[in-house]
A and B are shown apart, each in its own frame.
Chain A
Amino acid sequence: MSVFNQSRSNIIRLIFIGIFFIIVVQLFNLQIISGKYQKLARDNAVYPKRIYPNRGIIFDRKNKAILNNTIMYDLTVTPSQVKNIDTLELCSLLNIDTAEFRKRILDARFKNGPVRPSVFEDLLPPYMQAKLEENIYKFPGFTLIERPVRVYPFNAAAHIMGYVGEVDSNILRKSNFFYQLGDYVGRSGLEQYYERILMGQRGMQFLIKDNKNRIQGPYQKGEDDTLAIAGRNMRTYLDIEVQQLAEKLMTNKVGAVVAIEPLTGGIIAMSSGPNYNPNDLTGSEKQKNYANLQLDVAGPLLNRAVNGRYPPGSTFKPLGALVALDEGVITPSYGFPCGGAYHGCNRPVRCTHAGGGHAANLRLSIANSCNAYYSHVYRLTVDNPNMGGVEKGYERWKDYMNAFGLGNRLGLDIPSENKGNIPDTNVYNRVYRNSWNSCTNLTLGIGQDMMLATPLQLANAMCIIANKGYYYIPHFAAKFDGSSPDDSLLNKFRVKHEVLTKISDTAFNAVIGGMQDVVDIGTARVARIPGIAVCAKTGTAENYRMIEGKRTKLKDNSVFVCFAPRDNPRIAVAVVVENAGFGATWAGPIAALLMEKFLNDTLRPERVKEVERIAKANLMPAFLVREQYREDSIRAFKWFKLTRDTSVIQKYLGRSNSKPDSTGIPKNEKGPVIKNNPISKPKQTIKTKQGSAIT
């Protein structure tokens, strides 16, 4: 029988060979031809972890760290490891209830699964962290994780430094996906402008994870890993003590302060009122704090130093003189017989002085701030016969303004700067239907009409005068530690802008002398500093505002510009305080204190009292109280309509009891979203029909 089916052994062999051949072909296909499996395996097992470097530290001119890094703690939870813990104790440590506890555990489970850690509570306040650190051994599954956070040791310079926040989709797209979701990026101020330098270089760590996404160790012993390189430290021109003083002086005031070092264009201090504490936007309360700031009608998030637009008023006069001098339409000895008003046009421009030769020459005209003189000089400049027509003359004048940095962005190193306003001829053509002359916009000569400037532009203008004809773009960054191609960001701040070239030294001295006289014998006597020749100019500008649809005249804005010392100036300051009256009443003293602090490095004892006096003064415009009340009540009503929750709207229901007046302090430190606390009416009111009860 064995012989009978002998051939079949070959068939069986063939079957074996066939199947093995198929296997080998498939192995060849999987392992040699198809290249995708290697990547799939890597994607499975390798977890690329980004290592974030410390951001660069920002120092002031005296090498004090004003923006530093610190460690805060997140409490994370790995749900599967949470066993037999005293939930009540943990809840009491965290100030949450057990329902919230269960909800967060479920959330964590849902988000990252039971075996991976998820954030349970982020950015713990220090006291909570300390208590948890002691007791964390009682709570298996819970861990405190370090997290680097920006900290502002001086609680100052919020608008300048800016803050870091998580990237949004817009930044993601713009960065061409250099950033990833969850990355932190500078969102305003210097943090945003110098993001590339401050952020450093991210590192990559390749870790192995198992099938449940648990980290098992480094991939290939970490040979592909790259180190994170810390961001470069930045040295600024800021003087943090002057900055703090400026912020203190601006407490409860709307306005801005800018102090620049004329020689370099370096900004010594920049403060905007109302202000906020930058550390409020870093800790665990940042969301809430941010919302509060956002909803405050006084606009604490707005940096008025670069975004506030104010008519410069009389502080413009020295510039007007310089333009006329450069154009050669006047000389330092040029005088104007002012009898109390300028009558060259239909409507007279009144002057605070009358006769007495108060404008007999350039120096006197500045010292006495003669409106007639500068109206006249403006007309002389614009109607210069060499120009051929008012339009050409005006264009020429506007070119000067733009060269001074007025009417366009200076380009300092924090984002979102306002242009101010120097109108184009087109604007006048449109408004006056092509029939206008130098009389139409005559008050441009005294810093009014449509002229608007930011405090930064005003301070920069002072630098031009102090430097006798040139300026550097104002900026904060002096240099970065080390060097790299990114330093080219600073190149534009090294360019000297020569804007006035034809003015003789004597002519400059006439203008500067006039400004010195303002301090010595004129309106700015508050700014005198013993032993230092201060040059200044006060300004008082009318202040209109649309309030509830009506153009209302408010108390004048107090404007003050100055620089000191007269020879080799070291500081130029511009101060604007809204709603504060004459330039010399509030803005002047503020500027004087800043100069003294900067130049002498300290304040005289009697001046310290002055600081307190100014800091205590509340110059917040009264309409803000009313406006805040309106905004809050509207929001409360919307909230009520949305949720039928009466708890918020209650206090707005009693119309008769809630007459907001100027006595109320608009900023209530403790109030959450709703700031005002007018007396609430008894509950019965709500029970009436909703529509009629709330109007």
Chain B
Amino acid sequence: MNQRNPAISKGIDWLLVWLYIALAAIGIISIFAASYREGDEIVESFLSLKTDYSRQLLYFVIAAVLATFIVLTDSKFFTATANLWYAFGILLLLLVFPFHTSVKGTNSIIRFGSFNFQPAELCKVFVSLALAKYLSRIETDFRKTRSQLIASAIAVIPAILTIMQSETGLALVYFSFFLVMFREGLPAIILIVGFSLAVLVVATLLIEPNILAIILTAAALLTIYFLRKQIKRKREYLIYIIMIWAVCVGVQRFAVPFMFNEVFQPYQVKRIYDTIGKDYIPKTQADAIQIEQKTKVKKKGDESNYNVKQSKIAIGSGRFIGKGLLSGTQTRYDFVPEQRTDFIFCTIGEGFGFVGSIILMSIYFILLMRIVTIAERQRSVFSRCYAYGVACVLFFHIAINVCMTIGLAPVIGIPLPFISYGGTSLLSFTILLFILIRLDADRQMVLR
């Protein structure tokens, strides 16, 4: 199968490589389908570097070269320099503040000539490395709260910096590292509480406050009724239940309204409402004006309701086998905004239909499952943690992005890995994946 020097290619997981190539190819074709204009000379425009798809091809070539370098590097290099890279990443994020260029309403981009560089994208790699490094330290006892807090800080600090650059979407990705920590022993209760809180917040928005309060109270009373024997034996249970009830109602009655009225910007509130399918009525005239201005200025996710609608139309109209490459009217004639970047999945859904979508999702699914399998076969904790980091980052990106295009998640501007147009994004994911491939190739080496 391979003609390379067996010393280098030994132990490389070729399945991952092929999946990577397949995804990148799908990406270039999709960008081509979304931005090709009738009458362009195809070969010429692929080489001209003037079109998005030709540039994406260039990025892919650069990424391939970079991947080769990574594969040629000694895996110990990554372990050794992980913290250094993290420091470098934080530095980059900080450099953004004085040197950023405002593009499409985000402040997270540094511009070198015509090349836009987004440190927030790249930083995921460094966080993965740093988190793996920290968790794999022999002196780290992850059962201790202190360790858990430090690990959390490693993930959350770049997230906060990214939020400060108005890239909320990318910042959310850093929370995927909590799944890694969960694998390494973070108590499940934290994830469950986090998830429950999210559900409660959504329920608060969807259901009338009083009705929700009644439902919560009823649930608490029922629990007390069913646990009455245990409660007789142990009084603490009753206190726990009442406390949980109080927290829930508190969140629902006070915390959420407070957040929405005081903390979030009106346009953000509107976007959240759009996602769950409710009309948001601005409370004051000023809020309405701000929403209007924001939706004008902010291109990413502007009129998110319209975007989601058009995106659903595009995907839905693909039916079973799709309309064929270059035949999708929704994507060809710009009905779906941001269709080369965040809404690239529409092009696939419309052009290749259910079959194409399922094939793409299958590729992603196989990729993720393979990475988890790889993670579990590592003998080194560092490699395992890193592998989980990769899996979780990819998973988060895929899930949020696809759910957003099919109307299951709010419009959060994050790219679809390996497919969305964008140099930084493709290069970051390539580096992320190929470091894993390198680490995995050396899994037989001494336990670190």
Interface residues, chain A, CB within 8 Å of chain B? Answer: 1-2, 4-6, 8-9, 11-13, 15-16, 19-20, 22-24, 26-28, 30-32, 34, 36-38, 40-42, 44-46, 208-212, 216-217, 219
Contacts and interface: CB of A to CB of B under 8 A. Distances in A.
A260 to B, nearest CB: 59
B357 A31 contact: yes
A23 B399 contact: yes
B294 interface: no
Given A22-B408, A44-B330, A31 B354 contact: yes
A437 B82 CA distance: 126
Given A22-B403, A32-B354, 13 more contacts: A1-B184, A12-B388, A16-B372, A22-B408, A27-B315, A27-B361, A31-B357, A37-B315, A38-B319, A41-B335, A208-B332, A212-B334, A216-B38
Contact of B406 (A20, A23, A212, A216): A23
A210 B316 contact: no
B313 A40 contact: yes
Interface in B179-208: 179, 182-185
B361 A20 contact: yes
Contact of A27 (B38, B183, B349): B349
A634 to B, nearest CB: 52
B349 A31 contact: yes
Given A1-B381, A27-B358, A216-B333, A34 B183 contact: no
B369 interface: yes
A521 to B, nearest CB: 85
B183 A8 contact: yes
Nearest to B375: A9
Contacts of B364: 20
Contact of B402 (A23, A32, A40, A44): A23
A9 B372 contact: yes
Contacts of A40: 313, 316-317
Interface in B282-318: 310, 312-318
A45 B330 contact: yes
B182 A12 contact: yes
Nearest to B138: A1
Closest 8 CB pairs of A and B: A37-B316, A41-B317, A45-B329, A210-B333, A31-B354, A30-B316, A211-B334, A38-B317
A82 B34 CA distance: 30
B280 interface: no
A23 B404 CA distance: 10
Contacts of B358: 24, 27
Nearest to B378: A2
Given A5-B185, A16-B372, A37-B317, A27 B335 contact: no
25 contacts: A1-B184, A2-B378, A2-B379, A5-B183, A5-B184, A8-B182, A16-B368, A16-B372, A23-B361, A23-B408, A24-B361, A27-B357, A27-B361, A28-B354, A30-B406, A31-B315, A31-B316, A31-B320, A32-B354, A37-B317, A41-B350, A44-B329, A44-B330, A44-B335, A210-B333
A1 B358 CA distance: 37
Interface in B337-363: 349-350, 353-354, 357-358, 361
Chain A interface secondary structure, helix, strand, loop or mixed?
A: helix
Contact of B312 (A9, A16, A30, A216): A30
A20 B365 contact: yes
B133 interface: no
Interface string B370-393: 001001101101001000100110
Contacts of B354: 27-28, 31-32
A394 B318 CA distance: 79
B20 interface: no
B333 A30 contact: no
A37 B405 CA distance: 14
A41 B361 contact: no
Nearest to A214: B333
Contact of A12 (B318, B319, B372, B381): B372
B395 interface: yes
B372 A32 contact: no
Nearest to B395: A16
A420 B369 CA distance: 93
Contacts of A37: 312-317
Nearest to B394: A16
Contact of B365 (A16, A22, A42): A16
A15 B372 contact: no
A8 to B, nearest CB: 5
Nearest to A38: B317
Contacts of B318: 31
Contact of A208 (B184, B315, B333): B333
Nearest to A34: B316
Contacts of A13: 369, 372
Contacts of A15: 179
Among the interface residues A28, A38, A46, A209, which one has the most CB atoms of the partner chain B within 10 A?
Answer: A38
B388 A36 contact: no
Contacts of B320: 31-32
A12 B406 contact: no
Among the interface residues A19, A22, A30, A211, which one has the most CB atoms of the partner chain B within 10 A?
Answer: A30
Contacts of B330: 41, 44-45
A60 to B, nearest CB: 50
Contacts of A46: 329
Given A23-B403, A23-B406, A9 B376 contact: yes
